[in-house]
Amino acid sequence: MSALLRAARIDGILARCSITDTCPKMMHFDSANELWAARGSLVTTDPLGQRDVPIPDNVRIYQWASTQHNQSGFTGYETLDELEAKREADICVYYHNNAIPRENRRALVVALQEWVTTGR
């Protein structure tokens, strides 16, 4: 660890690249489940969860509202009978949320390309 980092008493995954101005552009995604389970707040608050922390200029954070953590194999194209069979087999107690963020993620890959190449 560099003397500069030790002296600053600040560390993190972007600490070294911040010194050399070589940090990559990053996108962070959370589903509604990450916020519900309280893990998502670790991304934007201090370790005690009492204050918001500044988001670096090279980071963009997205939250997929009303979505589950993953789709657990759910394609969005299952029939109601197939969903009911899974429910009765205790594979899924509740019906899956069919709000699948796959297309949103793909759109943000395009947005990331524009951000990297044009700065917008």
Q: Find the mean pLDDT for residues 27-55.
A: 86
pLDDT (0 to 100) of residue 23: 95
Whether residue 1 has pLDDT greater than 60? no
Whether residue 74 has pLDDT greater than 80? no
- Assess if residue 7 is contained within a domain: no
∠ CA(27), CA(30), CA(32), 5° rounding? 155
Q: How many CB atoms lie within 10 A of CB 84?
A: 13
Domain span at 63: 25-118
Whether residue 27 has pLDDT greater than 70? yes
- Assess if residue 58 is contained within a domain: yes
Q: How many domains does the chain have?
A: 1
Q: How many CB atoms lie within 10 A of CB 69?
A: 14
- Assess if residue 15 is contained within a domain: no
pLDDT (0 to 100) of residue 31: 83
